Amino acid sequence: MKQPLRVALIGCGNIALNAHLPAFLADPERYQVVAVADPTPARLQMAAEATHAQAYVDPLEAICAPEVDIVDVCTPQHLRRDLLIAAAEAGKHIICEKPLASIPADAEAAVKAAEAAGVVLGVVHNYLFLPEITTALRIIASGELGAVRAVTVNYLGVLDLPGAGSYRPLWRHDPAAAGGGVLMDMLHAVYLAEHLLGAPFVRVSGFADADLPGSRGDGVETMALARFEADVGERTGVAMVNMAWGHGPGGVQVTGTEGRLMISYVDDSTPPWAPLAGLTVTTVEGTRREDVPTGVELPQKMSVSMADALADIADAVASGGRPAATGRDALHTLACTMATYTSAALGRTVPIKDAGAPGVWSAGVGALAGLEMPAHSPVARGRLFRGQQVR
């Protein structure tokens, strides 16, 4: 009989205990959680009680424990690089939460370590498994919409939720930790837009601002608008990703040469908090509504997409195949996100390569203040991404 993968859960915060752990515990044939690690006693105790696994304060000890087959890294992103490299060097397969790191060079170092060690590094790009997205991708691939000309992903009503109370609940507002604000936190929309467009992003024109009352001086953007470009033969394919914490609209639209596809959420709000309202396809034949489950509330929606994303990585380990999002895929998504900030800082379109500027690739948003920004730069005007906020 096939043995379950023996998992070390590294970082026992909200996503680890609310989404990863339930998926592991629900599928004992596939997973056995043998180690949990967190420096925060309250979180470690919660994880240990839920799993009866060996508890470690030092994550490196858990990673190197001989009984561990796969390491699941759920820490905030700025703490991941050394853990990922240690896991790869110890020959352990890796599940990693998104974004892969808060600095592209850190993500690249982890990817190279995993490739050198020949281990699977699968990144949790779980929104690829949402039923409305798998349905949309299937319809696009069928050719019914013709060639995709433009994609819009509106996530302008993202909830700004704190992290685990016993750690640093507001680390997402610290540019040195999070590596950006709402776009970095919800870069799900970046990889979704690219998958829907069906071609790799090569340039971006970005805007970022801290425009909510009281958000000036907060350090990270509360709104980011990005127009990504892909070279599709002789044409340019375009995807707009519009992202904000607050109360703006949510929804996805795909414009093809032969038709359109619309994904809408209840009250035009933003997923995954808002349930799906419907998915429609319109061509010269008329409009039809696809049979995708609507009205599914957040906990169930997230738990299913998370279970599917984790199982996809476990299957890649078992089969020697490729997960839906490899480390290289996630590095590219991070570079797209970071280049959006570089573009916003410089006030012009930039290449995705080097995240728009070599200094940003190696040091992340902390390098933006050193760029020559024009007076109209929203990053200069908003004094975004300066220094570390202590919370």
Ligand X SMILES: NC(=O)c1ccc[n+]([C@@H]2O[C@H](COP(=O)([O-])OP(=O)(O)OC[C@H]3O[C@@H](n4cnc5c(N)ncnc54)[C@H](O)[C@@H]3O)[C@@H](O)[C@H]2O)c1
Question: How many residues form the binding site for ligand X (CB under 6 A)?
Answer: 26
- For ligand X, the closer of residues 126 and 154 by Cβ is 126
What are the contacts of 171-175 at 24+ separation with CB within 8 A? 171/76, 171/391, 172/220, 173/218, 173/219, 173/220, 173/389, 173/391, 174/219, 174/220, 174/388, 174/389, 174/391, 175/219, 175/220, 175/365, 175/366, 175/384, 175/385, 175/386, 175/387, 175/388, 175/389
- Binding marks (x or -) toward ligand X, 307..346, rule CB under 6 A? ----------------------------------------
**CA pair distance 83, 73, nearest whole angstrom:** 8
- Give yes or no for a contact between 49 and 75, defined as CB atoms under 8 angstroms apart: no
Give the range of 68-76, 201-209, 228-236, 347-355 binding ligand X by CB under 6 A: 68-76
Give the range of 11-19, 131-139, 324-332, 366-374 binding ligand X by CB under 6 A: 11-19
**Contact between 11 and ligand X (CB under 6 A)?**
yes
- For ligand X, the closer of residues 183 and 367 by Cβ is 183
Residue nearest to ligand X (CB): 13
**CA pair distance 172, 165, nearest whole angstrom:** 13
Residue whose structure tokens are 């799993």: 51
Question: Is the C-alpha dihedral spanning 36, 40, 41, 47 positive or negative?
Answer: negative
Helix or strand or coil: residue 138?
Answer: helix
Give the range of 109-117, 163-171, 218-226, 256-264 binding ligand X by CB under 6 A: 163-171
Figure out which of the listed residues 4, 14, 45, 266 binds ligand X, where binding follows CB under 6 A.
14
- Pairing relation of β-strands 54-56 and 121-123? unpaired
CB of 148 to ligand X, least distance (A): 25
Q: How far apart are the first and last CA of the chain?
A: 49
**Contact between 38 and ligand X (CB under 6 A)?**
yes
**CA pair distance 99, 337, nearest whole angstrom:** 10
CB of 255 to ligand X, least distance (A): 27
Helix or strand or coil: residue 10?
Answer: strand
**Contact between 74 and ligand X (CB under 6 A)?**
yes
- For ligand X, the closer of residues 167 and 207 by Cβ is 167
CB of 60 to ligand X, least distance (A): 9
- Binding marks (x or -) toward ligand X, 166..195, rule CB under 6 A? -x-----------------x----------
Amino acid letter at 69? D
**CA pair distance 351, 338, nearest whole angstrom:** 11
- Binding marks (x or -) toward ligand X, 113..152, rule CB under 6 A? -----------x-x--------------------------
- For ligand X, the closer of residues 163 and 359 by Cβ is 163
* Residues in touch with ligand X (CB under 6 A): 10-16, 37-40, 43, 59, 74-77, 79, 97-98, 124, 126, 163-164, 167, 185
